[in-house]
Chain A
Amino acid sequence: MWNYALKRLIQGLITVWFIATATFLAMHAVPGDPLSGAKAMTPEIQQNLEKKYGLDKPIGQQYLIYMKNLAQGDLGISFTQKNREVNDIIREHFPVSATLGIMAVVFAALGGSLFGALTALYRNKWPDNVIMLAVILGISVPSFVFAAFSQLAIVKLNGLLGVSLLPVAGWGTISHMLLPSLVLGLGTMAYLTRLMRSSMLEILSSDYIRTANAKGLPATRIFARHEMPNAILPVVTVLGPAIAAITTGGFVVELVFAIPGLGRYFVQAVQQLDYTVIMGTTVFFGAFLVLMVIVVDLLYGFIDPRVRVS
């Protein structure tokens, strides 16, 4: 198990290096640079600036410097925000994105497992039909549409009740977090519901559930001890990619709900071609996702004895 974890960690580092290199190359492949968009600059000023940021050096050398700094955990200084280190930006805004993301993942995983189990247990009856209709909506409608509609609904609801039930946007308290994380997790929840449904259906007709019935166990116990633990295994395996989907979806939701997360900075940075911020946040997100996938895999190994023991 520990060997396996170590192996996965090394693989993860290689992946992160790969992401960093690809981002670096992509950055230098797009036309223009952070300085070209600025107001009229005399060639002297431009040269000075390029020198300051090392943009005048050959690309190979720039790459080496970038890698060296990266290895030391230094992501550089923003081009567009005066004297702000990328590290500071991440430190300040990532916790917000992470909170949003984690809540969304929890919503998606809990909701997906529960609704999926429900649809399987009530197969072809009304709860199944209603939930599966919602699932199709959840999978096909993009999250910014849900975001807008949910804001509209909250505004109407608040107006109707005369009190502010939930804030429409912003960040700070739990009540700020509920709606955006729900919206963010919705698509993934729909996907997990469908996965859980088919997994549970297979388990329900399995031989060992028949055995559990032949032992005369109460239905609740069969559900909790035999059906659920086996049925969620496929859901756990896709949790890594699900976290990735939610994190990237977070950028949009942060914008719509005016949440001061990292996603907003990333989008801004892309628009302004802020090299260091783009590369820094991309590598950071990449590393974070790689770590999450490893954590999920190890978690899977822990809950499935067939993997754990071997």
Chain B
Amino acid sequence: MTEPISSVKPPLLDVHDLKVEFDTYGGTVQAVRGVSFAVEAGKTLAIVGESGCGKSVTVQALMGLVPMPPGRLTSGTAELRGRNILGTSKIDGQDFRGSEIGMIFQDPMTSLNPTMTIGRQIAESLEVHRGWSRKKAMARAVELLEMARIPEAAQRAKQYPFEFSGGMLQRAMIAMAIACEPAILIADEPTTALDVTIQAQVLDLLGDLQRDHGTAIILITHDLGVVARMADEVAVMYAGQIVERGSVDDIFYRPAHPYTVGLRAAMPSNNPNAEHRLLPIDGSPPDLFSPPAGCAYAARCPHAMRICNSHEPAPFTVGPGHFGKCWLHHEKVPNGAQTILSAVEGTPAGDLVAAASQSAEEHS
């Protein structure tokens, strides 16, 4: 009698040890330094972190959108349902981009072809990936625009991007990205360029589409309010690495990395009960031309120890599916986890959670 080989379902997308470098005149930038994560079907993974920490490069590397040169993949694997997608754009001769993984970008105003109608730009995917006729694809494009809550979709499909507002363009982008019903939708700061009032509409749309179609979403954002509202899982990136990874509750209630705590304290909050203090993290991220030998956060970390400067911390598992890349979790550090939670003076974790959920409510 043989046991089933594995009772655990493999994840939809499994990224392992991804490294991306850029050759520049100033030297080699190590933009992504060994990133691993998995995406489950129908779930949302949020990737958060400061500007320049490598969020965009990570997902663009998966989509084959990193310009090479100057970019270079130096290591890593990425498997979509067990099939490699890294360093190629094809699975079985078929381009997986647009069909299996869709993507939307930060600035909808510049992300659409200015001289092609919105409808054609949506229909195009269906013609290419499904071999549909122009007419059939156009009809579906109108339906997709309706799904994206564009009023008078039939007329709108015949218009050009400059005739749309920013929010409508982003919804049209979403319609375009999901045209072929991809299993995964990557959204790289989809609301950053939009008015606050429009942001909520776009997030709502993403949430509803996910519920209706079971699409997994990789959501890149700066905004912890968006994370609280949308995410199931969170990966916190710092200097080209994932320094903490856990469920959204882990990240808000049981942060396992000082940087996560710092990020949250730096988040603006309108919560009248919380302290009206914004605590930006002192200092700036390390130079990615020559990243430090130890913990990348050491120069800014309030708890940095001697070992932090010389040895890179391992990802310590602190709970199911929850790890923090910080020496404070080492067994020889007494009360390490507590130290992290008490990191921001006068701002207990509870306040931060309140602030986050408050901000989430404001979005809805």
Contacts and interface: CB of A to CB of B under 8 A. Distances in A.
Interface of A: 205-208, 210-218, 221, 225-226, 229-230, 233, 303-306, 309
Given A207-B105, A305-B115, A216 B98 contact: yes
A233 B113 CA distance: 13
30 contacts: A205-B67, A206-B110, A207-B105, A208-B110, A208-B111, A211-B112, A211-B173, A213-B64, A214-B63, A214-B98, A214-B102, A214-B105, A214-B177, A215-B97, A215-B125, A215-B177, A216-B95, A216-B97, A216-B125, A216-B128, A217-B128, A218-B95, A218-B128, A221-B128, A225-B116, A225-B124, A233-B115, A305-B115, A306-B115, A309-B160
Nearest to B63: A214
Contacts of A207: 105, 107, 110-111
A298 to B, nearest CB: 17
Contacts of A208: 110-114
B99 interface: yes
Interface of B: 63-65, 67, 89, 95-99, 102-103, 105, 107, 110-117, 124-125, 128-129, 160, 162-163, 173, 176-177
A217 B98 contact: yes
Nearest to B161: A208
Given A211-B105, A211-B111, A306 B160 contact: yes
Contact of A230 (B65, B67, B115, B177): B115
Nearest to A227: B113
Contacts of B116: 225-226, 229
Contact of B65 (A210, A303, A304): A210
A217 B124 contact: yes
A205 B71 CA distance: 14
A221 B123 CA distance: 13
Contacts of A226: 113, 116
A214 B97 CA distance: 6
A210 B129 CA distance: 17
A230 B114 contact: yes
Contact of A215 (B124, B160, B163): B124
Given A211-B105, A211-B111, A216 B129 contact: yes
Contact of B96 (A216, A303, A305, A309): A216
Given A207-B105, A213-B64, A215-B128, 17 more contacts: A210-B105, A211-B112, A211-B113, A213-B63, A214-B97, A214-B98, A214-B105, A215-B97, A215-B125, A216-B95, A217-B95, A218-B128, A225-B124, A230-B113, A303-B115, A306-B160, A306-B162
Contacts of A206: 110
Contacts of B89: 216
B114 A306 contact: yes
A210 B162 CA distance: 18
Contacts of A212: 113
Contacts of B113: 208, 211-212, 225-226, 230
A218 B102 CA distance: 15
Nearest to A308: B160
A212 B65 CA distance: 10
